[in-house]
Amino acid sequence: MKNKIRNKYVPAEAANSTKHLDLTKMRRAPDMPHLKPSTTTVNLRMPLSLLNELKLQANQRDVPYQSYMKILLAQSLKMQKMA
């Protein structure tokens, strides 16, 4: 029943509009360097004392502790790459 109503109001060619596209006029998407890279959630187990020390240092630098953790990881990876 639902398909009959839909087909009655939606033209058949609307289901496939690719024949209306002119692919020769397509342009490359512009570079957007200011966009943040996509992120994913990570669960990490660590000793509570290490987490508390991390939070303390982050607070001294006025940075959220999760951001501070990312900064430390990025610095460590950069140093490993240089070694």
Using a cut of 0.85, tell me whether the model's pTM lies above it. Answer: no
DSSP-derived secondary structure for 2-53: HHHHHHHHS-GGGG--GGG--GGG--PPPP-TTSPPP---------HHHHHH
Return the pLDDT at 5: 52
Length of the chain: 83
77: amino acid identity, one letter: L
Dump pLDDT digits (tens) for 22-72: 777 777 777 777 777 788 899 999 999 999 999 999 999 999 999 999 999
9: amino acid identity, one letter: Y
Domain chopping of the chain, boundaries: 51-83
